[in-house]
Structure 1
Amino acid sequence: MQTLIPFTAEICSSYVSKRDGETKIGQTLHCYDGQTPLTHALSQAKDKGARFAIIGIGEDIGPRANLGRGGAVDAFEAAMAQFCNFQSNQFLDSRLCLVLGQIATQDLQLPADAKTSDLRDNVEKLDERVIDIVTAIIAAELEPIVIGGGHNNAYGLLMATKAATKRPVAAVNLDPHSDFRPREGRHSGNGFSYAAASGALAYYHVLGMHELKNSQQTLDQLAAFGGKWHTFQSIWVRQELTLKQAISDIITDLNASGLPVAIELDLDAIINMPSSAATSAGIPLIDALFYVNQVARNANACYLHLAEGAPNCHAAGIEAGRRETGQSISELIYSYIQGRTAQHPLG
């Protein structure tokens, strides 16, 4: 079975609205034809100047296996419809980007009445696909930008990073939930606890963790691991410190670790974002953009993971959800790329 559905030049072209005198990102980025062996395609793209590999994981089995609601299946398409129509100009050379496509998940999706145990079994199967494909991307010295899907995929990304770099990972996660729940079978709430138990996760900081959305058991497990956090309430409600101060502290710790850095972001941290667990008590998108940009610019980032986007969960319907989710993800992608290229200028 084909485990990667390619984002071909023909598919990319279908997303682009062309205008005379303009060059859109979708007209010059690298695509994957699906015929060339993956490792060779990654090497070719790198030789042609690519630095970032954008990939989607359209699935909601992880959130459903966590007894949550589904919907996180089509954020990749929504994002590409927006991202491919950004301008390719002096601020972003789109030849830095390879869009690979999506990891195949259709055979793993289960009906609404599926047993929780079956959902969790399929999350494990998905883990294997994520690990295989993302390991190849990092081994080719490209930086994955991963659009989910559930936050369960953090486990596969962390395992892949360890496999490719031969080192454990330091992760920072902007998320109201720590996703450090008990290892009771794989789901979207325990990707980081499984990664910690496997040795793939060596340092973990949760930014914007909601004080009432994490069980005491989870907090105790996270503390026993040595995990750190700044809560949503401490920064945005009580204003005990600024977001800039918190990010500066996190970057200091990340750099002190000497490890490759994973930048994780659960879109349900953002106020009213269509997601698997949308919230009206969230952070502004501009703060999420600042977080991604600053960590990408000032730490040894190896990937960006944008999880839980669910356009069909928008209150105004799927089309409104696609616009909002797609534009937000596209801005986050650019914030990451801009941060990374500012740290390591071309030429």
Structure 2
Amino acid sequence: MSKLVLFNSNQLNNIIKKREGEIKFGERIKLLTAFDDIYGKLKNLDVKYVLIGLPEDVGVFANLGNTGTNKAWESTIKILLNTQHNQENNGNNVLILGYLDFSEELKTCSKLSQDSNKDLKKSRQIVENIDKEVTNIIFNIVKAGKTPIIIGGGHNNAYGNIKGTSLALNKKINVVNFDAHTDFRALEGRHSGNGFSYAFAEGFLNRYFIFGLHKNYTSQAIFDTALNAKKRIRYNTFEELEVEKILKYKPQMKKALKFISKTNFGIEIDCDAIINIPSSAKTPSGFSVSKTRQFVSYFASNKNAKYLHVCEAAPTPKTATQVGKLITYLITDFIRANES
């Protein structure tokens, strides 16, 4: 747990904007006060959901993407804690654990160039170290019987989410990925584009459904290999759903859920799939925020949903509030649907 920075009461009090006659979400959430025996503390704490931030963009850099995903956690926590606590939005069952501190990794990566093969190789080695930290914290949260909600970072962290959950449950898990891309690139060193292919190859990922794949950004090699493995990998495309209107949204969610929900599964939300959201690969053609919220709520309502991961958002100072609001909606939608 060397990278874990606990969220503390001073930070909480500095963020919450109290108002007479109202109770803010942050006034009801739980905190840990010490690092010793995190697993034991989590296991004995009367909460179901554990929020953890992953402020990094090394995996995005290593995949030749646009950085900035290290800012999403900070943007989100400021908004989440100031939402209303009420009968429809209950903070009592939530622990804000904190974030994994990858500042040294980010500093090292800032000195590297994406034009250098040597530097790319080094950045991918850094991602392997990040993988270990993410795997460890997710393992402890799931092993303690809690449901992790993971915010920020690149989609490289799907690997640690899947591996940590799989090891904690001692079985392979399934995943549904709301994404414009498969993130099933070659095993060429770790980055944000191959978290699922590594988890699949190493035996942690069983069934995988990609929801809303963009035809323009899927290589023929992926179509020929991964997307031909229909017993374990299935998909639909954004064009079929939203442009050609060959497929309908709700029936496709039902189809995807049937494919992955017979056993434990994770929910992965890549903000690259949402129209005009600042992200590592911002798209002018994507799903609406409302359809994204509907997606999270639908899958979270299944008893076998084991985690939520919202990634790839890359807020700027001008867009931080809007990105924070978006991710906060997804977090609270997940909790409401999962609890009920």
Deviation at 1:13, TM superposition (A): 1.6
Three-state SS of the structure 1 residue aligned to 2:293 is helix
Contact conserved, 1:8 with 1:34, CA < 8 A, in 2?
A: no
Instruction: Quote the offset at 1:225 in angstroms.
Output: 3.6
The amino acid of 2:3's aligned partner reads T
Question: Per the alignment, do residues 22 and 191 of structure 1 end up closer, same or farther by CA in structure 2, a change over 3 Å counting?
Answer: same
Contact 1:292 1:332 (C-alpha < 8 Å) held by counterparts: yes
Give, in angstroms, the shift of residue 248 of structure 1. Answer: 0.8
The alpha-carbon deviation at position 103 of structure 1 amounts to 1.0
Matches of 1:23 and 1:55 in 2, distance apart? 23
Contact 2:209 2:260 in 1 (8 A): no
Partner AA of 1:341 in structure 2: E
Q: Matched residue of 1:152: which SS?
A: helix
C-alpha spacing 1:299/1:211, structure 2 compared with 1 (3 Å) = farther
Q: How does 1:289-304 map to 2 (within 5 A)?
A: 289-298=293-302, 300-304=304-308
Q: Please, what TM-score do these two structures have when normalized by structure 2?
A: 0.95
Task: Say yes or no: does 1:158 pair with 2:142.
Answer: no
Q: CA deviation at 1:224?
A: 4.2
8 Å CA contact 1:171–1:262 kept in 2: the answer is yes
User: Partners of 1:279 and 1:26 in 2: how far apart?
Assistant: 32
Distance 1:199 1:224, change over 3 A: farther
* CA distance in structure 2 between the aligned counterparts of 1:182 and 1:51, rounded to whole angstroms: 36
2:126 corresponds in structure 1 to 122
Q: 2:252 aligns with which of 229, 246, 253?
A: 246
Q: Deviations along 1:251-308, whole A, 9 cap, x unmatched?
A: 11123xx321110010111111011111111110000000000011135100000011
1:111-260 → structure 2 map (5 Å cutoff): 111-114=110-113, 115-226=119-230, 227-255=233-261, 258-260=262-264
In 1, the alpha carbon distance for the partners of 2:6 and 2:138 equals 14
1:12-44 deviations in whole A, cap 9, x for unaligned? 121111001111010110112244431133124
- 2:337 pairs with 1:339: yes
Contact 1:72 1:311 in 2 (8 A): yes
Q: CA deviation at 1:208?
A: 0.6
CA contact (8 A) 1:254 1:261 kept: yes
Question: Is residue 91 from structure 1 mapped to residue 88 from structure 2 by the alignment?
Answer: yes
Structure-2 separation of matches of 1:22 and 1:307: 31
Any residues of structure 2 matched to 1:313-324 within 5 Å, and which? 318=317, 320-324=318-322
Identify the range of structure 1 (209-218 vs 28-37) with the bigger mean alpha-carbon deviation: 28-37
Determine the structure 1 residue equivalent to 2:25: 25
User: Using the alignment, how far apart are the partners of 2:227 and 2:286 within structure 1?
Assistant: 24
Alignment coverage as a number of residue pairs: 331
Cα pair 2:166 2:172 within 8 Å, conserved? yes
Amino acid at match of 2:66: R
**SS at the partner of 1:31?**
coil
8 A contact 2:303–2:338 mirrored in 1:
no
Partner of 2:116: none
- Name 1:65's counterpart in structure 2: 62
| Contact in 2 for aligned 1:176/1:210 (Cα 8 Å) | yes
* 8 A Cα contact 1:51 1:96, kept in partner: yes
Secondary structure of the 1:94 match is coil
CA contact (8 A) 2:176 2:266 kept: yes
Matched residue SS, 2:69: coil
- The 1:278/1:23 distance shift into structure 2, 3 A limit, reads same
Specify the SS of the correspondent of 2:281.
Answer: coil
Deviation of 1:161 after TM superposition, in Å, equals 0.9
Instruction: Tell me the amino acid that sits aligned with residue 240 of structure 2.
Output: S
> Could you tell me which residue of structure 2 aligns to residue 345 of structure 1?
none
CA shift, 1:112, in A, is 4.6
Whether the 8 Å CA contact 2:227–2:235 is kept in 1: the answer is: no
What stretches of structure 2 of length at least 5 have no aligned partner?
114-118
Q: CA deviation at 1:69?
A: 1.3
CA distance in 1, matches of 2:28, 2:15: 13
**Which residue of 1 is the match for residue 323 of structure 2?**
325
Task: State the SS of the aligned residue for 2:60.
Answer: helix
Aligned partner of 1:275 among 266, 276, 279 = 279
* Percent of aligned positions that are identical: 34
